[in-house]
Amino acid sequence: MIEIALLSVSEFGRVRGASLERLARLSLIADICRANTLAMVKRAGSGHLGTSFSAMDIVVYLYHEVLNTLSAGLDNPGRDIYFSSKGHDVPGLYSVLYSLGAIPREKFIRLRRFGGLDGHPDTGIPGIESNSGSLGMGISKGKGMAWAKRHKGWGGRVYVLTGDGEFQEGQNFEALQTAHHQGISNLTVIIDHNKVQSDKPVSEIVDLGDLGGKLGAFGWHVERCDGHDFGQLSAAVGRCREVGDRPQIIIADTIKGRGVSFMEHPQALEDGKGLYPWHAGAPADGPFEQGYAEIVGRIKAAYLAQGLGEPVFERVEPEPQGRERVTLLGEPVSEAAEDRIRAKVSDEYVAKAFGEALLEIAPSRPDLVVLDADLASDCRVRGFENAVADRFIENGIAEQDMVSMAGGLARMGMLPVVNSFAAFLASRANEQIYNNASEKTKIIYALHYAGLIPAGPGKSHQSIRDISLLGALPNMTIVQPCNADETRQVVRWCVEEARENCAIRLIISPSPRVVPLPPAYRLTYGRGAVIRDGKDAVMFAYGPVMLHEALVASELLAERGFGLRVVNMSWLNRFDAAWLADAVRPFERVYVLEDHAPVGGLSDRLRDALHAAGLLDGRRLTTFAVEGWPACGTPPEALGAHGLDGISLAERLAR
């Protein structure tokens, strides 16, 4: 385990107290924040460095030179407000808030941990003014804040940072248009124009063209500057404050990964052979040490040059490993069970199988066309993009346009497979999905990153409502495969056999274990499969994450003589009635384990089907689901917080 250290808050005090030239001071503060950001992302194991670094100078400049936010007080309605619409740059913002004492050390060292700092901004954290993480909402929200300030005469200005790829979202243009019409002038938007999206240049994904010309055509006051030049930033922001009749926008040209040589665009993009490697995720030990040494080297040189001596580092204690004995109802479980619980996750990715299945099917189905919204790597369709380029459509961060485009393709007889994260696709493009469905064409929606896990990115990314959002459509089959083999079968079924629209839920993390299916398992419409037997109760679950927890629960309960049968229920809203009757008949106790909110998921549909068939009388159907807001943290933390890990489930059953 690599050692992590922080430059403490007192260092910022020393720097601010020293008689440094203004720009040198800001530059040094930004580097200290970069070092701390890198350390915290490394410790967290994930987080967005490239964009934290491209935005860092802007954020440091605003908080250390412009905003009265902290001096006025975080509850003062007259405070200046800053927030980032893209949101994934929040590790950088946290480090700036830490530099100002707004976020305490004990929170700061718990990035992406339960009770710590969410992977995307959350207003529950001191200094965070808006939840974000899903793109394109920021200008609209800032407009609302600015409107309220103007209406109430409170004073203070609103500063919203956006990405550049983010400008593929149409909501930005709604807001540009309305904010101008409404004469909002206490709103300044800054575009962190680092030219790189998830892993490719904006110009390759969906080019923004003449960005300044576009923004000017919307009537905004437009500035352009080097976003790493504090002098230019200061001049641009200053000119914006003089504008009294319209909103202002600053295109800040920045460098993704700024401050760590090998993370900087364009070199990093070349090193990655066209894919930018430092958008998300923590660097491995080697690059971490190299990058950290580079930043710290600059800091030390600056300290030396300014006669500040040596910067002081505080070692951050390693995270507790939680090796205490696992207990169930107060008694230790067997070592075998404990090993099972502590086992490393498998190397299976169902999304990988999904991508491979599409690739396999492509030659025999010339109507198949794959659409993506700047998540080709995460959605595992990069292989398809490279191999079947003429049937791959990269549509950028414009989910609504992508879905309606798929509708047009389907009307022309093609079979579109539409990819994005479930949290974005099922909600942002919900009305477009409805519109397409009403034309009775067939479209396959791949809902990636479905469910609670991974829980580090936080509630903008965790999808626990998607089944509810699609369930009331009359012609949508929702299905979630449990392992790679079933994923291939599901994809083939959706392409070859389904007569209506399909939504395929897929987890994005590795499967905790490869969920076992019966030998020669064949996916059958509406039917689940028993994956572990038991005679005392039955649990329906779906997806690799929750089936693993169900299996753990069953294994633990078996040690206490309680037999919990576990059924992989891949079909979330379509059931074979006869099969279902057989599946529940032997049991009085029926459990449903949702990777979803308690409302609108599988259990609502099962309860309905069972009651309609007269099978609920004398039975108890109990739902375990993601209650409330999805917790942020490690998988065990988040599952534990919701009582959905195997041990908690076993406890809840045994009680």
The H-assigned helical ranges of 62-170 are 69-72, 90-99, 105-108, 138-152
Residue 470 CA to residue 196 CA, distance in Å, equals: 32
Question: Whole-number minimum distance, CB 25 to its own copies, in Å?
Answer: 32
Which of these ranges, 61-69, 250-258, 411-419, 580-588, lies near its own copies under the rule CB under 8 A?
411-419
Residues that bind its own copies (rule: CB under 8 A) add up to a total of 113
Q: Which residue lies nearer to its own copies by CB, 332 or 408?
A: 408
- Specify the residue for token string 């909110």: 597
Q: Which H or E run contains 584?
A: helix 577-584
The verdict on 186 binding its own copies (CB under 8 A) reads no
Residue 28's region, left for phi above 0, alpha for psi from -120 to 50, else beta, is alpha
Question: Whole-number minimum distance, CB 435 to its own copies, in Å?
Answer: 6
The verdict on 411 binding its own copies (CB under 8 A) reads yes
The verdict on 499 binding its own copies (CB under 8 A) reads no
The verdict on 585 binding its own copies (CB under 8 A) reads no
Among 14, 16, 65, 173, binds its own copies (CB under 8 A): 173
The verdict on 573 binding its own copies (CB under 8 A) reads yes
Residue 578 CA to residue 585 CA, distance in Å, equals: 11
The verdict on 137 binding its own copies (CB under 8 A) reads yes
The verdict on 599 binding its own copies (CB under 8 A) reads yes
Residue 94 CA to residue 43 CA, distance in Å, equals: 14
Instruction: Pick out residues in 69-98 that bind its own copies (CB under 8 A).
Output: 77
The verdict on 153 binding its own copies (CB under 8 A) reads no
The verdict on 177 binding its own copies (CB under 8 A) reads yes
The verdict on 511 binding its own copies (CB under 8 A) reads no
Q: How many helices (H) and strands (E) does the chain have?
A: 26, 20
**Cα torsion 399, 404, 409, 410: sign:** positive
Among 258, 279, 391, 448, binds its own copies (CB under 8 A): 391
Q: Which residue lies nearer to its own copies by CB, 319 or 385?
A: 385
Among 22, 74, 126, 181, binds its own copies (CB under 8 A): 181
| Residue in 605, 355, 613 with CA at minimum distance from that of residue 476 | 605
The verdict on 537 binding its own copies (CB under 8 A) reads no
Q: Are 452 and 638 in contact (CB under 8 A)?
A: yes
Residue 436 CA to residue 66 CA, distance in Å, equals: 48
Instruction: Pick out residues in 216-235 that bind its own copies (CB under 8 A).
Output: 216-219
The verdict on 370 binding its own copies (CB under 8 A) reads no
DSSP string of 45-81, one letter each residue = T---HHHHHHHHHHHHHIIIII--HHHH-TT-TTS-E
Q: Which residue lies nearer to its own copies by CB, 400 or 511?
A: 400
Among 627, 636, 640, 643, binds its own copies (CB under 8 A): 627
Residue 505 CA to residue 451 CA, distance in Å, equals: 9
The verdict on 414 binding its own copies (CB under 8 A) reads yes
Q: Are 260 and 294 in contact (CB under 8 A)?
A: yes
Q: Which residue lies nearer to its own copies by CB, 192 or 401?
A: 401
**By rule CB under 8 A, what string of x and - marks binding of each residue 18-37 to its own copies?**
--------------------
Instruction: Pick out residues in 191-210 that bind its own copies (CB under 8 A).
Output: 206-210
Give the end-to-end CA distance of the chain in Å, rounded to a whole number. 39
Q: Which residue lies nearer to its own copies by CB, 214 or 352?
A: 214
Residue 585 CA to residue 562 CA, distance in Å, equals: 18
Peptide bond into 454 cis (omega under 30): yes
Among 95, 400, 419, 568, binds its own copies (CB under 8 A): 400
The verdict on 398 binding its own copies (CB under 8 A) reads yes
| Tokens found for residue 503 | 């939504």
The verdict on 577 binding its own copies (CB under 8 A) reads no
**CB count in 10 Å sphere of residue 14:** 15
The verdict on 653 binding its own copies (CB under 8 A) reads no
The verdict on 145 binding its own copies (CB under 8 A) reads yes
Which H, E and C letters describe 556-583, residue by residue? HHHHCCCCEEEEECCECCCCCHHHHHHH
The verdict on 455 binding its own copies (CB under 8 A) reads no
Question: Whole-number minimum distance, CB 54 to its own copies, in Å?
Answer: 22
The verdict on 409 binding its own copies (CB under 8 A) reads yes
The verdict on 413 binding its own copies (CB under 8 A) reads yes
Amino acid at 250: I
Question: Whole-number minimum distance, CB 518 to its own copies, in Å?
Answer: 30
Which of these ranges, 122-130, 277-285, 308-316, 535-543, lies near its own copies under the rule CB under 8 A?
122-130
